[in-house]
Amino acid sequence: MTAAIGSVLMPSPADGPWTGFSLAERDRRWRSVRENAAKAGFDCTFVPLCVDGRNLHLSLEQARGTRSDIRYLTQLENAAIAIPTDGRSPIVITQRGEGNSWVTEPRRAGPGWFPSWGQAMADALMELGMDRARIGVSGLKGGKVTHGRALDGVVNHTAYAETKRRLPNATFEDATDVVGFARYMKGDEEIAALKRGAAIAQAGIDEMVRVARPGMNAGVLYARVMRRMLELGSEYYPLAWRISTIGGPAPRYEEAPYWIQLDSMDVVAPEVDAVWGGLVAQEMQPILLGRVPEQLKPVIQLQRDVFQAGLEYMKPGTLFGDLIDFINGFGAKRGMRTIILMHGRGYGNDGPLLTPGDISADHFRDVPIQKANAWVWKPTAFSADGKLQFSFGGVTIVDDDGGHLVTGRTPGMIEVV
């Protein structure tokens, strides 16, 4: 069975399942990591056992991000990998030796149901001749384009300390950007997966618009949207949203807020994320349970304009610093304010990360935009007095002529009357 979601014809998960990325995509990723490692002078790139985001009660992005590098390099949820820079095959370690089409000869972390990983990781590095090597470790710190929300990194302490203890003559250095800049450039298969994810997220928004009403329990609305995306085959990724009156405080919820009942003139502003092929798409669509008041209309118009102008501006070769300045200065011409809001899309906690808490982003102003970058683009517009604000956005892919919103939705507020 097939449903049409926007411009995407989508078979049901039973009939059109996700079957994994190709070996060519695997080789593209591994090659890119090797090239980045060679430039940085590393003998190998090592992704050790990382902390488990699911149990950490982190934010959505951080939870997905903790083991994102290993998913990127193996398509496995939990593993460790050592990739020699010289082109030899990597060694992959998994809990009980489980593999997949990319990893056909994984090593078992140890005996028993739940083994310790430190020795197996050290053995892998020694087998690759890394006893005295310069080893690049991904995930020790936050990077420029990945793990941006995890400044203290994502590596498990006990297993990593044991690995280092067993290789006293090797040096271990942060190499988060070695994997990060490989992830930064999406392949064609990744872009196709993100488009599918964006279409599923759009279906989630459509469901919210269809059922949201004053008097409805917000937890029930949340559940309806999640059901819609799950039945279309998305992995579970919690809907995040703000519920407020126009101009009022807008608390953010990342679970079903079962204690809230919606009222007329409430603004429901969801970030609807769907996951297809492991990649997280996001669509943001404010919905008003009523008619848009006159005073908000110029803010919405400004956001629409800065959104489109930004898409045109983000051509390959443009530096982030220039894009940031362009967007942050855009609203002043109309006596209002605009700020940049965006972050990468991919396996989780992708960057660059530009939020209201850090709109200047000095540490990656020098990073150029490249063709096949993917992010959620959602600049924010404010009224002159700063009391009203509006943000809309979604998955955007950079091509030669600038950014493209993959769903083709029109920026604006949806009214539910």
Query: In whole angstroms, how close is the CB of 143 to another protein at the nearest point?
Result: 13
Indicate whether 218 belongs to the interface with another protein (CB under 8 A): yes
Is 322 exposed, middle or buried (CB count within 10 Å of its CB: 0-12, 13-18, 19+)?
middle
Say which residues have a Cβ less than 8 Å from residue 137's Cβ, sequence separation at least 6: 46, 47, 48, 155, 160, 172, 173, 174, 175
State which of residues 104, 151, 168, 317 lies at the interface with another protein (CB under 8 A). Answer: 151
Window of 83-91, 138-146, 364-372, 389-397 that interacts with another protein by CB under 8 A: 138-146
Indicate whether 204 belongs to the interface with another protein (CB under 8 A): no
Indicate whether 219 belongs to the interface with another protein (CB under 8 A): yes
**Tokens in use for 77?**
């949820």
Window of 135-143, 344-352, 375-383, 392-400 that interacts with another protein by CB under 8 A: 135-143
Query: In whole angstroms, how close is the CB of 379 to another protein at the nearest point?
Result: 22
Tell me whether strands 266-276 and 279-284 are parallel, antiparallel or unpaired. antiparallel
Whether the CB-CB separation of 341 and 317 falls below 8 Å is answered with no
Stated length of the chain: 417
Query: In whole angstroms, how close is the CB of 171 to another protein at the nearest point?
Result: 15
Q: How many CA atoms lie within 13 A of 309 on its CB side?
A: 21
State which of residues 44, 47, 58, 376 lies at the interface with another protein (CB under 8 A). Answer: 58
Is 366 exposed, middle or buried (CB count within 10 Å of its CB: 0-12, 13-18, 19+)?
exposed
Query: In whole angstroms, how close is the CB of 405 to another protein at the nearest point?
Result: 26
Which ranges of 331-408 would DSSP assign to H, the alpha helix? Answer: none
Question: Which of 31/213 has CB closer to another protein?
Answer: 213
DSSP, res 15: T
Indicate whether 184 belongs to the interface with another protein (CB under 8 A): no
Number of residues that bind another protein (CB under 8 A): 74
Say which residues have a Cβ less than 8 Å from residue 129's Cβ, sequence separation at least 6: none
Indicate whether 167 belongs to the interface with another protein (CB under 8 A): no
**Tokens in use for 94?**
């998994």
Indicate whether 247 belongs to the interface with another protein (CB under 8 A): no
Indicate whether 13 belongs to the interface with another protein (CB under 8 A): yes
| AA identity, residue 241 | W
Task: Report d(CA 396, CA 410) in Å as an integer.
Answer: 13
Whether the CB-CB separation of 180 and 147 falls below 8 Å is answered with yes
Indicate whether 18 belongs to the interface with another protein (CB under 8 A): yes
Indicate whether 54 belongs to the interface with another protein (CB under 8 A): yes
Query: In whole angstroms, how close is the CB of 124 to another protein at the nearest point?
Result: 15
Indicate whether 182 belongs to the interface with another protein (CB under 8 A): no
**Tokens in use for 93?**
């370690």
State which of residues 100, 217, 308, 318 lies at the interface with another protein (CB under 8 A). Answer: 217
Query: In whole angstroms, how close is the CB of 390 to another protein at the nearest point?
Result: 19
Question: Which of 69/266 has CB closer to another protein?
Answer: 266
Indicate whether 111 belongs to the interface with another protein (CB under 8 A): no
In what helix (H) or strand (E) does residue 328 lie, and over which residues does it extend? helix 320-330
State which of residues 254, 305, 325, 399 lies at the interface with another protein (CB under 8 A). Answer: 254
Question: Which of 206/235 has CB closer to another protein?
Answer: 235
State which of residues 73, 155, 280, 388 lies at the interface with another protein (CB under 8 A). Answer: 155
**Rg for the chain, CA atoms, rounded:** 22
Indicate whether 235 belongs to the interface with another protein (CB under 8 A): yes
